[in-house]
Amino acid sequence: MELSCQFCRIVNGETSTKFLHEDNNLVVFKDIHPQAPVHLLIVSKKHIRSINDLEDDDREIVAEIIMAAKLMAQRHGISKSGYRLFFNVERGGGQVIFHLHLHLIGGW
Protein backbone atom coordinates (compact mmCIF):
# COMPACT_ATOMS: atom_id res chain seq x y z
CA MET A 1 0.00 0.00 0.00
CA GLU A 2 1.38 3.36 -1.06
CA LEU A 3 -0.39 6.27 0.56
CA SER A 4 -0.08 8.49 -2.49
CA CYS A 5 -1.25 5.84 -4.97
CA GLN A 6 -4.77 6.29 -6.39
CA PHE A 7 -5.22 2.60 -7.17
CA CYS A 8 -4.06 1.53 -3.69
CA ARG A 9 -6.81 3.77 -2.31
CA ILE A 10 -9.39 2.15 -4.61
CA VAL A 11 -8.18 -1.39 -3.79
CA ASN A 12 -8.39 -0.50 -0.08
CA GLY A 13 -12.02 0.53 -0.43
CA GLU A 14 -11.29 4.18 0.39
CA THR A 15 -13.24 5.45 -2.63
CA SER A 16 -16.73 4.91 -4.02
CA THR A 17 -15.41 2.83 -6.93
CA LYS A 18 -17.57 -0.22 -7.48
CA PHE A 19 -15.80 -3.54 -8.02
CA LEU A 20 -17.20 -5.73 -10.78
CA HIS A 21 -15.11 -8.63 -9.56
CA GLU A 22 -12.66 -9.46 -6.81
CA ASP A 23 -10.21 -12.32 -6.52
CA ASN A 24 -7.39 -13.20 -4.12
CA ASN A 25 -4.91 -10.93 -5.83
CA LEU A 26 -6.96 -8.45 -7.86
CA VAL A 27 -10.00 -6.27 -8.25
CA VAL A 28 -11.80 -5.22 -11.44
CA PHE A 29 -13.54 -1.90 -12.03
CA LYS A 30 -14.65 0.26 -14.95
CA ASP A 31 -12.22 2.76 -16.39
CA ILE A 32 -13.41 6.27 -15.57
CA HIS A 33 -12.59 7.49 -19.12
CA PRO A 34 -13.64 4.54 -21.30
CA GLN A 35 -11.98 4.18 -24.70
CA ALA A 36 -14.54 1.59 -25.85
CA PRO A 37 -18.06 0.42 -24.90
CA VAL A 38 -16.41 -2.01 -22.49
CA HIS A 39 -13.28 -0.71 -20.77
CA LEU A 40 -12.28 -2.47 -17.58
CA LEU A 41 -9.16 -2.28 -15.45
CA ILE A 42 -7.87 -5.43 -13.81
CA VAL A 43 -5.78 -4.20 -10.92
CA SER A 44 -3.43 -6.09 -8.59
CA LYS A 45 -4.14 -5.70 -4.89
CA LYS A 46 -0.41 -5.55 -4.28
CA HIS A 47 1.23 -2.25 -5.12
CA ILE A 48 3.52 -3.06 -8.04
CA ARG A 49 4.72 -0.04 -10.03
CA SER A 50 4.69 -1.62 -13.49
CA ILE A 51 5.47 -4.78 -15.44
CA ASN A 52 9.15 -3.82 -15.00
CA ASP A 53 8.85 -4.33 -11.25
CA LEU A 54 7.41 -7.85 -11.29
CA GLU A 55 9.31 -10.38 -9.21
CA ASP A 56 9.33 -14.18 -9.40
CA ASP A 57 6.91 -14.35 -6.47
CA ASP A 58 4.36 -12.33 -8.47
CA ARG A 59 3.73 -15.09 -11.04
CA GLU A 60 0.45 -16.07 -9.42
CA ILE A 61 -0.76 -12.47 -9.58
CA VAL A 62 0.04 -12.21 -13.29
CA ALA A 63 -1.69 -15.50 -14.05
CA GLU A 64 -4.76 -14.44 -12.07
CA ILE A 65 -4.92 -11.14 -13.95
CA ILE A 66 -4.97 -12.88 -17.34
CA MET A 67 -7.56 -15.43 -16.20
CA ALA A 68 -9.73 -12.62 -14.83
CA ALA A 69 -9.52 -10.89 -18.23
CA LYS A 70 -10.85 -14.00 -19.91
CA LEU A 71 -13.68 -14.27 -17.37
CA MET A 72 -14.62 -10.59 -17.63
CA ALA A 73 -14.73 -10.80 -21.43
CA GLN A 74 -17.08 -13.77 -21.15
CA ARG A 75 -19.30 -12.00 -18.63
CA HIS A 76 -19.54 -8.91 -20.83
CA GLY A 77 -20.39 -10.99 -23.88
CA ILE A 78 -17.37 -9.89 -25.92
CA SER A 79 -15.37 -13.14 -26.02
CA LYS A 80 -16.52 -14.07 -29.50
CA SER A 81 -16.53 -10.58 -31.01
CA GLY A 82 -13.05 -9.97 -29.62
CA TYR A 83 -11.23 -7.55 -27.37
CA ARG A 84 -7.84 -6.03 -26.62
CA LEU A 85 -5.71 -6.49 -23.51
CA PHE A 86 -2.80 -4.15 -22.81
CA PHE A 87 -0.43 -2.99 -20.13
CA ASN A 88 1.03 0.49 -20.51
CA VAL A 89 4.59 0.42 -19.16
CA GLU A 90 6.23 3.59 -17.82
CA ARG A 91 5.70 7.07 -19.18
CA GLY A 92 6.87 6.34 -22.72
CA GLY A 93 4.40 3.47 -22.85
CA GLY A 94 1.56 5.72 -21.81
CA GLN A 95 1.39 4.67 -18.18
CA VAL A 96 -0.16 7.36 -16.00
CA ILE A 97 -1.02 5.41 -12.85
CA PHE A 98 1.99 3.60 -11.52
CA HIS A 99 0.20 0.61 -10.02
CA LEU A 100 -0.05 -2.57 -12.10
CA HIS A 101 -3.24 -2.84 -14.15
CA LEU A 102 -4.36 -4.58 -17.30
CA HIS A 103 -6.75 -2.77 -19.65
CA LEU A 104 -9.54 -4.81 -21.25
CA ILE A 105 -11.35 -3.02 -24.08
CA GLY A 106 -13.96 -4.21 -26.53
CA GLY A 107 -17.62 -4.26 -27.41
CA TRP A 108 -17.39 -2.05 -30.49
Active site residues: 101
Identity at 14, one-letter amino acid code: E
Q: Phi and psi at residue 84, in whole multiples of 5°?
A: -115, 140
Q: Is 92 in the site for ligand AMP (CB under 6 A)?
A: no
Which residues have a Cβ under 8 Å from the Cβ of 9 and sit 6 or more positions away? 15
Sequence-ordered alpha helix ranges (H) in 1-108: 6-11, 59-75
The interface with Zn ion within residues 11-50 (CB under 5 A) comprises 47
From residue 5 to residue 44, the character string flagging contacts with ligand AMP as x (rule: CB under 6 A) and all else as - is: -x----------x-----------x-xxx-------x---
DSSP H helix total and E strand total for the chain: 2, 5
List residues binding ligand AMP (CB under 6 A). Answer: 6, 17, 29, 31-33, 41, 88, 94-97
Question: Rule CB under 5 A: which residues touch Zn ion?
Answer: 2, 5, 7-8, 47, 99
